[in-house]
């Protein structure tokens, strides 16, 4: 069976999980709930071992997107918060979700000391807020998204294009 007929087999059964990130993005949302719904859809395009870096200002909606991703992986969105002093939160979803927020990080060695590298190269899905603060540690396969304020309730979510290491 060639690739073409294999694709036909899947399409014929309408498996929703086959949406890719580029089918879903860029996107604009007009409420926190809509950002969560987008996160839930994005979760279907993520795989074990993925690292997702979320760039964007304070209040851009990064945590709401993570709440939706948690829901998409079978978790509880209300469990996902912006931890003040915890750099990493682990959720027992399938695959496991590691929510990393390094807003308060001052030095990279701190991250190495808490074993962050193991999460970045583990079998879960790692989602990172303020990834620019740990750029040197991000694996080559990191998927980068940018969230921007369009207006008070509108946010744009897009892939960061043309990334060269
Ligand atoms: N379309 C939208 N999507 C997401 N949040 C929105 C939207 N419109 C308004 N908001 C508001 O913007 C804020 C987004 O908060 P959130 O904690 O997700 O931001 P963040 O990017 O994680 O910020 P931080 O860098 O402080 O962690 C919330 O107060 C939310 O109510
Ligand atoms: Mg946040």
Model confidence over 64-73: pLDDT tens digits? 999 999 999 9
Total Cβ atoms within 10 A of residue 113: 9
Tokens 């990064």 belong to residue: 62
Q: How confident is the model at residue 114 (pLDDT cuts 50, 70, 90)?
A: confident
% of the chain at pLDDT higher than 90: 72
End-to-end CA distance of the chain: 38
Q: What is the mean pLDDT of the chain?
A: 89
Q: Whose CA is nearest to atom 17 of ligand 1?
A: 63
Closest C-alpha residue for ligand 1 atom 18? 61
Q: For the chain, what is the radius of gyration of the CA atoms?
A: 16
Q: pTM for the complete prediction?
A: 0.89
Specify the DSSP element, H or E, that contains 42: helix 32-43
In this prediction, residue 35 carries a pLDDT of 98
- Given this model, what pLDDT does residue 14 score? 52
- Pocket of ligand 1, beta carbon within 6 A: 29-32, 34-35, 56, 58-64, 82, 103, 129, 153-155
Least confident of 7-11, 45-49, 154-158, 160-164: 7-11
Cα 60 to averaged position of ligand 1 atoms, centre (Å)? 5
Nearest to 59 by CA among 129, 164, 11: 129
* Ligand 2 center to 121 CA (angstroms): 22
Q: In what order do the strands lie in the sheet with 97-101?
A: 27-29, 154-159, 143-151, 51-55, 125-129, 97-101, 88-91
- Strands (E) across the chain are located at 27-29, 51-55, 88-91, 97-101, 125-129, 143-151, 154-159
- Give, in order, the Cα–Cα distances in Å from 82 to each of 15, 21, 73, 87, 99: 33, 24, 19, 9, 9
Between the CA of 162 and the centroid of ligand 1 the distance, in Å, is 26
Taking the mean position of all CA atoms in its chain, how far away is CA 100? Answer: 10
Domain boundaries, the chain: 22-159
Section 103-119 average pLDDT: 84
What is the pLDDT at residue 1? 47
Pocket mutation for ligand 1, best pick of 29, 54, 58, 60 (most atoms within 8 Å of C-beta): 60
Q: Which CATH class is domain 22-159?
A: alpha beta
CA of 62 relative to ligand 2 center, distance in Å:
5
Mean pLDDT of 31-51: 97
User: Is 29 in a helix, a strand, or coil?
Assistant: strand
């Amino acid at each position: 069976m060639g690739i073409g007929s294999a694709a036909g087999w899947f399409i014929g059964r309408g498996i929703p999980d086959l949406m890719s990130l580029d089918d879903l993005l860029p996107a604009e949302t007009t409420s926190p709930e809509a950002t969560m719904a987008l996160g839930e859809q994005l979760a279907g395009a993520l795989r074990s071992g993925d690292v997702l870096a979320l760039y964007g200002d304070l209040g851009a909606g990064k945590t709401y997107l993570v709440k939706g991703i948690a829901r998409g992986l079978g978790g509880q969105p209300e469990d996902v918060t912006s931890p003040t002093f915890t750099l990493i939160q682990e959720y027992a979803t399938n695959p496991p979700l590691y929510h990393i927020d390094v807003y308060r990080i001052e030095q990279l060695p701190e991250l190495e000391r808490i074993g962050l590298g193991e999460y970045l190269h583990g079998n879960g899905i790692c989602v990172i807020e303020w990834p620019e603060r740990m750029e040197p540690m991000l694996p080559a396969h990191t998927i980068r998204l940018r969230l921007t304020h369009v207006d008070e309730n509108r946010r744009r979510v897009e892939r960061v294009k043309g990334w060269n290491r």
